[in-house]
Amino acid sequence: MTTIKIALLGFGTVAQGTFNLLQDNAELIRNRTGVNVEISKIFVRNPNKYSHITLPETAQYVTDIDEVLKDDSIQMVVELMGGTTFAKDCVEGALKAKKNVVTANKDLLAESGPYLLDLASKNGVDLRFEASVLGGIPIIRTLYESLAGNRITELIGIMNGTTNFILTKMSEEGLSYQDVLKEAQDLGYAEADPTADVEGLDAARKLAILASISFNRRIFFEDVSVEGITSIDTEDIKFGKEFGYNIKLLGIAKETSQGLSLNVYPAFIPTTHPLASVRGSYNAIYVKGNGIDDVMLYGRGAGSLPTGSSVVSDIMEVAKNVSYNETGRLKPFYY
Ligand code: HSE
């Protein structure tokens, strides 16, 4: 059986979820791919922070990125550090060194996705990013492959768990925005800077990535008009309920006669709409296409194992491509 050596960049929440799934499901992964995926190196700043984690014999920590980028035996780099500067250098460096890349980095994709996809294609390697949007919900592959025969006309998503958690609590328990934000932070749902969540920026980045794939255009974060939930109060929510509506922070991409409209804003949606019943930190995405009519995917938009599940699915896909000598076939989605 072919063995493919991979390197993890970063060892935070998502990387540990990925690591655990790769260990716990190793046999299943081998059976499904016909490949033995071996973690060879884990790039971190300070290995001592992870002394409580037992690594497999094949794996070691490295603190110099060149130990990954210049190691010819590593065929796949899994970037799970986040950020758009150093992470971009690493992804760029890996692609240029003809290493396949899997990333969960939404900010990087929203900012430089088209460029990096081009680079991967030019170097004949894969760049996969299922985990970059909506954590454990398999929306990227669904859009790329399962719905490829459709002309997508509209995407509507609850794309941010923090704000959905806040709005659900405000609606169901009558709590104030401030009280619930604190709880969302304590539970670890919010981004390090919760502004990105509550001002709708996180959802806008996700919408830019999904709309790019759905509508085959270069769409960047700056193209999305954004309004967050900071000015929503309990009165708005009560008012909506009286008339049969829930307030949700929606990301909406829609073909109109004037072109594509891209918006993130808090909207009243009828309680009978499937998105209205998406509660708490869950995410969902509702896609309309000229073949499927409607499809809705629902699940956990963040978290160690759910997001790790998407990363592992990409690792498996790339591993198969490497073993068949078929990497670099996924063309950039815009034309
Ligand atoms: N802070 C994000 C959310 C995490 O609340 O959905 C996943 O991107």
User: pLDDT digit string (tens) for 6-15?
Assistant: 999 999 999 9
Cα–Cα distance between 290 and 94 in angstroms, integer? 38
At 329, the pLDDT band (50, 70, 90 cuts) reads confident
CA of 306 to the centre of ligand 1 (A): 12
Helix, strand, coil % in the chain, rounded to nearest 5: 45, 25, 30
- Check pLDDT > 90 for residue 249: yes
98 has catalytic annotation? no
The answer on pLDDT for 43 being more than 80 is: yes
> pLDDT digits over 289-320, tens only?
999 999 999 999 999 999 999 999 999 999 99
Provide mean pLDDT across the span 268-285. Answer: 96
Distance 197 CA to ligand 1 centre (A): 7
pLDDT band per the 50, 70, 90 thresholds, residue 192: low
Domains of the chain by range and CATH? 2-136+304-323 (3.40.50.720), 140-300 (3.30.360.10)
Considering only residues 270 and 179, tell me which one the structure prediction assigns the higher pLDDT.
Answer: 270
Percentage of residues in the chain having pLDDT higher than 90: 88
CA 52-56-61 angle, 5° bins: 65
Say if residue 100's pLDDT is above 80.
yes
> What is the H or E stretch that residue 253 is in?
strand 245-256
Give the chain's end-to-end CA distance (angstroms, integer).
Answer: 38
pLDDT at residue 217 is higher than 80:
yes
At 128-146, the pLDDT tens digits run: 999 999 999 999 999 999 9
The pLDDT-based confidence of 183 (bands split at 50, 70, 90) is confident
Tokens 């190196």, located at residue: 41
Give me the pLDDT at residue 114, please: 87
Model confidence at 182: pLDDT above 90? no
Residue 71 class from Cβ within 10 Å (0-12 exposed, 13-18 middle, 19+ buried)? middle
pLDDT at residue number 193: 78
Pocket test for ligand 1, best of 14, 158, 159, 162 (most atoms within 8 A of CB): 162
Q: Is the CB of 197 under 6 A from ligand 1?
A: yes
| Nearest protein CA to atom 8 of ligand 1, as residue | 302
Nearest to 77 by CA among 86, 85, 65, 63: 65
CA pair distance 159, 285, nearest whole angstrom: 7
Mean pLDDT within 145-161: 96
**Token representation of residue 210:** 């999904």
- For a substitution probing ligand 1, which of 202, 206, 221, 250 has the most ligand atoms within 8 Å of its CB? 202
Average pLDDT, the chain: 94
Is 159 near ligand 1, meaning CB less than 6 Å away? no
Measured in Å, residue 298 CA sits from the centre of ligand 1 at 15
Q: Which atom of ligand 1 is nearest to the CA of 133?
A: 8
Instruction: Average the pLDDT over 142-154 and give the result.
Output: 95
* Nearest CA residue ID for atom 7, ligand 1: 302
pTM for this structure? 0.94
Residue 69: is its pLDDT beyond 80?
yes
Among the listed residues 106, 169, 206, 288, the single catalytic one is: 206
Cβ 107 under 6 angstroms from ligand 1: no
- Predicted pLDDT of residue 330: 77
Q: How far is the CA of 302 from the centre of ligand 1 (A)?
A: 6
Distance 194 CA to ligand 1 centre (A): 9
What percent of the chain has pLDDT above 70? 99
Dist. CA 301 → ligand 1 center (Å): 7
Residue 5 is predicted with a pLDDT of 98
Q: How much is the pLDDT for 66?
A: 98
| Residue of 166, 191, 264, 309 with the most ligand 1 atoms within 8 Å of its CB, for mutation | 191
